[in-house]
Amino acid sequence: MKDRSSLLKKLLYAILLPAILLVLWEALSRGGIISPHILPSPSRVFLRWIDYALPHEPYDAGKTHFVAWLFSGEMPHDVLASSMRVLGGFVIGALPALVLGLLMGASTFIYHLFNPLIQILRPIPPIAYIPLAILWFGLGNPPAFFLISLGAFFPVLMNTISGVRHVDRLLIRAARNLGASGHTLFLRIILPAAMPYILTGLRVGIGVAFIVVIVAEMIAVNSGLGYRILEAREFLWSDKIIAGMITIGLLGLAIDTAMSRINHYLLRWHSGHD
């Protein structure tokens, strides 16, 4: 009972400020203080969001399965397209970053060999690569995957390096004194100790990948949430722009929540996690 009361209290705190802002926004819009062409009311945005989410064709049981029909609207298609690009680009960027980060963290020679180049490339935002991405890969998914992988690469890399280099040296010396081989030392000591840093890097990396995919879809592809917002801008559909932004926020929240749950599960042994 106490846990349920605490959960309801947290939920109330979470929705209180957004609810106040929505009521104020609606009042300002209905009162004519804010132009609906510049900032449409929440109710209008909600109706546009529903229209964006639902299929426009009537349901025909003889031609289409109900689930397929339900997800045939613009928004489910755009969410799926953006999600596939995020996951694909994230994997392409995170895997080499993880391998290189482990090597740079474990080997002083490899660290000093790669670190100058990494520090030169790291401050360059992925958006700056857009002209080169289009020149190298043309239009479509390839340049989007390239940009997203760049966005995911450096957070994963830097956190992995930091995690390996911050492993307690007493643990390493103790393992060596007990006769642990290099392979055992890496798998049993270094990797578990660095895992909180690595998972944090993965969480940050997929967040950056999600930001980059929206920009990439505005430039190089003709589907996805970013493309749909750009299309709405061309037609001055401000309500659809905001509906798309809300969809991006909800999808980003879902991805971050999933990563947080995975982190808590994998680090349930760690003192900083339940």
**For residue 100, is it within any domain?**
yes
* CA 142 vs CA 85, 131, 151, 209: distances in Å: 10, 13, 14, 14
CATH label of the domain that carries residue 220:
1.10.3720.10
Residue 274 has pLDDT above 50, yes or no: no
Query: How many domains, in total, are found in the chain?
Result: 1
The mean predicted confidence, pLDDT, of the chain is 82
Number of H helices, E strands in the chain: 12, 0
In 3D space, the residue among 200, 187, 193, 202 whose CA is nearest the CA of residue 270 turns out to be 193
- Residues 154 and 119 sit within 8 Å (Cβ to Cβ): no
**For residue 241, is it within any domain?**
yes
| Helix, strand, coil % over all residues of the chain, rounded to 5 | 80, 0, 20
**For residue 36, is it within any domain?**
no
- Residues 199 and 206 sit within 8 Å (Cβ to Cβ): no
- For the stretch 150-170, pLDDT in tens is 999 999 999 999 888 887 677
**For residue 7, is it within any domain?**
no
Using a pLDDT cut of 90, give the percent of the chain over it: 15
**For residue 198, is it within any domain?**
yes
pTM for the model: 0.79
Token digits for 197? Answer: 């840093």
Residues contacting residue 90 through CB under 8 Å, at least 6 positions apart: 148, 149, 152, 205, 206, 209
The pLDDT, as a whole number, for residue 120 is: 92
In 3D space, the residue among 187, 209, 212 whose CA is nearest the CA of residue 259 turns out to be 209
| Dihedral sign, Cα of residue 68, residue 252, residue 268, residue 97 | positive
Rounded distance, CA 143 to CA 72, Å? Answer: 26
- For the stretch 90-124, pLDDT in tens is 999 999 999 999 888 888 899 999 999 999 999 99
- Residues 57 and 73 sit within 8 Å (Cβ to Cβ): no
Rounded distance, CA 222 to CA 133, Å? Answer: 16
DSSP string, 78-89: HHHHHHHHHHHH
Question: Of residues 214 and 167, which shows the higher confidence score?
Answer: 214
Question: Of residues 5 and 139, which shows the higher confidence score?
Answer: 139
| Dihedral sign, Cα of residue 228, residue 233, residue 236, residue 239 | positive
- For the stretch 167-208, pLDDT in tens is 767 766 676 666 666 666 676 777 777 888 888 899 899 888
- For the stretch 30-73, pLDDT in tens is 877 877 777 888 888 888 888 887 776 666 666 666 566 566 67
Backbone angles phi, psi at 71, to 5 degrees: -100, 20
C-alpha triplet 196, 198, 204: angle, nearest 5°:
100
The pLDDT, as a whole number, for residue 139 is: 81
How would you class 19 by CB atoms within 10 Å of its CB: exposed for 0-12, middle for 13-18, buried for 19 or more? exposed
- Residues 252 and 213 sit within 8 Å (Cβ to Cβ): no
**For residue 78, is it within any domain?**
yes
In 3D space, the residue among 41, 32, 28, 33 whose CA is nearest the CA of residue 239 turns out to be 41
| Residue appearing with tokens 């990439």 | 216
The pLDDT, as a whole number, for residue 231 is: 85
Residue 24 has pLDDT above 50, yes or no: yes
**For residue 90, is it within any domain?**
yes
The pLDDT, as a whole number, for residue 234 is: 82
For residue 253, what are the domain limits? Answer: 52-266
**For residue 24, is it within any domain?**
no
